[in-house]
Structure 1
């Protein structure tokens, strides 16, 4: 974690509510970060785009964990995902920041993949509606003739 700038470490600490007095602060983002996308729709796509922007604003380097094994990353991500913010706050700062950095780093890729899937599903839904509409108009035109 010494490779991370001080500002990035501070933003990671904010995820668990460290130094946040408003009662919501980073806790909302941490819960949001752990959550899966909702049902298919424009609102879900916009929410996921916002979530991705918030995670990227933390400022983690793209190559932060490229030297670590995928198995280790998966274990750390799972551990971070099942912790409550209070449990994370109770951990030593280097451990907490490592777990949160892994969670954010992995979730960035997962959210991006999820957004692509949502957009593909949305396009398919739009195409299906358009096809039904065109077919309906064609059938109505044929009935008139």
Structure 2
């Protein structure tokens, strides 16, 4: 059941994705040697972390995930998977990134990205 804290967390999550959608394309630092990419990805990463933290707070405030609207065994039926067409590709992409990061020669760079571009697994997950 939603309470004040979970409604606040909903507002933070909503604000985070709206800010990422509106502010990230407009944001650039003219005083940096790398004008666009690293500053924008830092902004998007921060907003994604704020949304994740708000989601975790909401889950804790509501006592965990609610399954009352989900029929038992929905994942066993084809109709259940058709309702969530992006679940399988996103799960496959997530597993591929996690396995490639774990088996990488340089896992730290694979996770956070190089200094120049910052495009690693963490950045990709912030896009998801």
How does the TM-score come out when normalised to structure 1? Answer: 0.29
Larger Rg, first or second structure (1 or 2): 1
How does the TM-score come out when normalised to structure 2? Answer: 0.32
The structure with the greater share of residues assigned to helix is 1
